[in-house]
A and B are shown apart, each in its own frame.
Chain A
């Protein structure tokens, strides 16, 4: 009995601890909208700060936070400062469940912003919908975020992988016609959607292989592609596996033209993994839709570098930092558009109304019927160790729309670096 009593006592103690934690949380939000007070907006995210996907991606959320700090230092949005809660889920869907619940139920965030990963974020869609939490600008190109009927509060950010696949396929068709084209992709929606886009343009590829992040060895796959006589290899890989694929191919004297998905092509991250073998990336073709980190003449890069120096401890300035800050900029635009009386419905309306002009080289597709993010990409090539844009940006959709050049002019950021209302 004594043991039972002790156990019971302990559980009650835990319960009281839980209760006190709760009252602290609710005490800070006075208004009826969770996470919003007259002086503060609390938003949260889940990110792989540790684990298999941490390389490169772990820099995104700190960059977003740095941009918010910059906005806060310039007076905030409608007088409110943005507080960004970053939770590490280690790219493990079970952890994502826990941390997102903690953010929503305990920290009472206004919205989840830029949660990263297809497998991780898929698991929390229903939970966020039930709790009517805006789920903005998911950091993944899965098409699952674009289901306005099923998940009215969820919006993507990245161009979806099929759009990207169609654009990469168009490059191959126009510039590498007649060459034997093959594919290596991640064994999930990322790889499958990407391949679907490529095959829409090129027809069936000559050979296709897949990999899983839990097994860091692509020797058999690269061997098979070499044996199939591939001259062009399209990679739908995360940065670590882009490096692994290029390195493994070089080891077996396999020198195809690599064409790489945006999410796996940041030259800084891939180059660091390759180490001394980084020159192997020369000539690699990829795509992007945001300004490139080494384009010092670009006003966005100038702004983001300034923010990076002042609020991000001068972290190494790669494309992940550019990405994180672009997300921050878009969120501030959405907050400005939602107006002073911020509610969850209003920010969703504001995002659906769209009209955002930011660092992206192509427009965002948001509307009441479309919740997918950027609608296209422009090709890049690595020359002299640096990625540079070439050609024009292309836009298309994940269905049968043609891949069309986009002629809109890029905009410059406002003088203050903070989007106006």
Chain B
């Protein structure tokens, strides 16, 4: 944990302008989000349907990686259980949707329920450190299939639930609508996160991560900050889970395996811990790497390889990125510009 924190702070320090003279003011998050929104809408008109579906999946992943990177990168709490929080959001959406068939309502309920789940897990998490925290969240990830089979009358066991959805307006193709929905949610989530971590809450998060004693002396309520960070992150995961339920029109424990939780952590580390742009990169990789692995697997002709290659590819990318750019992909531009300045 400690070296992850150091890496994260190493990458964030130059940007906050503590040791480098500030050259340019960073644009307000809202501007970046609006630009991103325009870009996504433009893309949905250019891309073919299957790419739009992949784009939508990226948007859903972006929600959860953004929340996780705030928790792990900025607050130093490692969670291996975000897959389970996504499952919470997904199942809540499915159950609400199948009862009332009202998507905004279902999303609202999904957010409420994951807030509650996040608060419960966060309360326990705030008392644990390092490997014990990882262990607790790991247990949460593992328990999902057992919960669904123990309460099979509600969750329908391994088979899961299908989600009743009203079709999108006639004029909008399904995949474009899905991309809009996912990115709309992702951009709102990320904007809120960006605004949140700019201000006092962001400073509290970092202070608690870097030195709890110092933070306490400065008057920061450690436990409250940690629980809040967990809740914020859980809500993001819940929204992502709900989006996945809409995309897949079904929920089942198989869609939220332990490997998903591990992939999420890997993705934010590769992308750059603590950076929302890093979370974006992570989301992009979560969609692209399996696709890449699959096409490589198909070319080698081994059918069995296809399903397993993604794990290997992810591991290799993690090692390479950590060697070449310890701050993750998001740190590469600033590393390059620093190199250029040094050589000048």
Contact = CB atoms under 8 A, between A and B. Distances in A.
Interface of A: 1-4, 6-8, 10-11, 14-15, 18-19, 21-22, 49-51, 54, 58, 61-62, 86, 88, 90-94, 97-98, 101-102, 105-106, 118-119, 122-123, 126-127, 130, 186-189, 210, 212-215
Nearest to B146: A215
B307 A11 contact: no
Interface residues of B, number: 55
Contacts of A212: 145, 149, 157-158
A213 to B, nearest CB: 6
Contact of A92 (B53, B152, B162, B255): B255
Contacts of B39: 8, 11
Given A50-B307, A102-B50, A130-B174, A213 B158 contact: yes
17 contacts: A3-B277, A3-B334, A4-B35, A18-B48, A18-B51, A88-B306, A88-B307, A94-B254, A94-B255, A101-B50, A105-B175, A106-B50, A123-B248, A126-B165, A187-B157, A188-B157, A188-B158
B248 to A, nearest CB: 5
Contact of A93 (B149, B165, B250): B250
Given A22-B51, A187-B157, A119 B252 contact: yes
Given A49-B307, A93-B252, A212-B157, 17 more contacts: A2-B333, A2-B337, A19-B51, A50-B307, A61-B303, A93-B248, A93-B254, A97-B249, A98-B54, A106-B48, A106-B50, A119-B252, A123-B162, A130-B174, A212-B145, A212-B158, A214-B149
A102 B174 CA distance: 14
A61 B149 CA distance: 30
B171 to A, nearest CB: 14
A127 B249 contact: yes
Contacts of A93: 160, 248, 250, 252, 254-255
A58 B167 CA distance: 34
A160 to B, nearest CB: 16
Given A106-B50, A119-B254, A212-B157, A49 B306 contact: yes
Contacts of A97: 247-250
B208 interface: no
A215 B304 contact: no
A61 B303 CA distance: 10
A105 B152 contact: no
Interface string B292-312: 001000000001101110000
B27 interface: yes
Contacts of B41: none
Given A212-B145, A215-B146, A50 B308 contact: yes
A8 to B, nearest CB: 6
A11 B48 contact: no
Contacts of A2: 333-334, 337
Contacts of A91: 254
A118 B157 CA distance: 13
B175 A214 contact: no
A11 B43 contact: yes
A2 B24 CA distance: 11
Nearest to B51: A18
B159 A118 contact: yes
Nearest to B303: A49
A220 to B, nearest CB: 12
B142 to A, nearest CB: 10
Interface in B147-181: 149, 152, 156-160, 162, 165, 167, 174-175
Contact of B47 (A1, A3, A15, A101): A15
A188 B277 contact: no
A260 B290 CA distance: 37
Nearest to B280: A7
Contacts of B174: 127, 130
A88 B306 CA distance: 7
B281 to A, nearest CB: 8
A202 B152 CA distance: 25
Which of A54, A119, A127 is the most central at the interface, judged by chain B CB atoms within 10 Å of its CB?
Answer: A119
B184 interface: no
A251 B185 CA distance: 53
Given A18-B51, A50-B306, A88-B307, A4 B248 contact: no
B254 A215 contact: no
B333 A6 contact: yes
B49 interface: yes
Given A19-B48, A49-B307, A50-B306, A98 B53 contact: yes
A19 B52 CA distance: 11
Contact of B159 (A7, A130, A188, A215): A188
A62 B152 contact: no
Nearest to B49: A105
